Structure 1
Amino acid sequence: MNVVVTEYNDNWKQKFSEESQKLKDIFADELIDIHHIGSTSVPGLKAKPIIDIMPVVKDIEKIDSFNERIEQLGYECMGELGMKGRRYFRKGGDHRTHQVHVFQGDNEEDMTRHLAVRDYLRTHPDEANQYGDLKESLAKQFPSDIEAYMDGKDEFVKELERRALSWYKMGKDR
């Protein structure tokens, strides 16, 4: 998989909206909420052009029964893929366009982490710019090595998550 980081694209919000509607139609009554997460959900943030979607559902075990319909949308069903209590789907193969991270409504730890980082970056543009610059630099340094790209941003992301969770839990007032 080639690593490409681009400037923020206003179309990402629309792409989220269109794809989330398709998922809403599939999950129907099982769906509690659906969120645009990840870097494409932060206006102005440089990102890999992959839309991350986080549906929140009543019962994670029931999601497997929707796999065939999700595959018809072009997704690959990946199960938990290393994160207990999640169902992960990706679309686009080596030229990924969407990733779906489904969590059960009572899985507050994982959901909060995603929402905290998103909201923190939306309200802390200097840190969003630092993160975007790091990702852009790593993508240039490792254009065909996604593992090296991920390793290069790991320490920054862990610290970002720590600050974001602290901020989020304190009522987003800092």
Structure 2
Amino acid sequence: MRKVTVTDYQPEWRQQFQLAAKELRELFGAECIEIHHIGSTSIEGMAAKPVIDLMPVVREIEVVDGLISEMEKRGYESKGENGLPGRRYFQRGGDERIHHVHIYAAGNPEIDRHLAFRNYLRENPQEAEEYGILKKKLAHDFPYDIEQYIAGKERLVARIEKNARGET
């Protein structure tokens, strides 16, 4: 069973994102419009699980399905939509996960949701700090129970998403 680990912000997360993004841009070629660094590792100063979340935006999501074997050759495991219609999700690193890749076609509303959440936390360091503290506490309280860790974040994540959408 994989341990839930949350660490203080690491400046090298930015470089890890850039290296992985470069590899994905080369693989997707002209199909790739842009790649965003999302998730907690994209928030400077915030504690996070040390897993880099990348969000490539592509022209046609179906093209990604034809590149699964190429992704697998690079160490990524395909998880299909993984519960979110229109997404293609990949993990890299096995039990010691290092990357999550959330791929969407241009225009998918999930893109704006992810970016609004990230941008809100970047612009509101006190909220990012509160979120990081909660994540450290949950990792301490539930070191081998990822479901409890995730459930423990739900209320704060919902509030942050609401604030990010301007619904306060």
TM beyond 0.5: yes
Deviations 1:138-170 (A, max 9, x none): 000000100000000111111111111228xxx
What pairs with 1:135-174 in structure 2 (closer than 5 Å)?
A: 135-166=135-166
Which residue number corresponds to residue 130 of structure 2?
130
Which residue number corresponds to residue 82 of structure 1?
83
Which residue number corresponds to residue 74 of structure 2?
73
Shift of 1:86: 0.2
Which residue number corresponds to residue 99 of structure 1?
100
Which residue number corresponds to residue 54 of structure 2?
53
Shift of 1:2: 1.1
One-letter amino acid of the counterpart of residue 137, structure 2: S
Q: C-alpha distance in 1, partners of 2:119/2:143? A: 28
Which residue number corresponds to residue 27 of structure 1?
28
One-letter amino acid of the counterpart of residue 126, structure 1: Q
Shift of 1:122: 0.6
Q: C-alpha distance in 1, partners of 2:117/2:44? A: 13
Q: C-alpha distance in 2, partners of 1:20/1:115? A: 16
Q: C-alpha distance in 1, partners of 2:102/2:47? A: 21
Taking only aligned residues, the RMSD between alpha carbons, in angstroms, comes to: 0.8
Shift of 1:93: 1.3
Residues 30 and 58 in structure 1, CA contact (< 8 A), matched pair in contact too: yes
Which residue number corresponds to residue 170 of structure 1?
none
Moved over 4 A (4+): none
Structure 2: gaps of 5 or more residues: none
One-letter amino acid of the counterpart of residue 52, structure 2: I
Which residue number corresponds to residue 43 of structure 1?
44
Q: TM-score, normalised by structure 1?
A: 0.94
Deviations 1:95-150 (A, max 9, x none): 1100000000010x200111011111111000000000000000000001000000
Farther off after superposition, 44-53 or 89-98: 89-98
Structure 1: gaps of 5 or more residues: 168-174
Q: C-alpha distance in 1, partners of 2:81/2:117? A: 21
Q: C-alpha distance in 1, partners of 2:23/2:73? A: 11
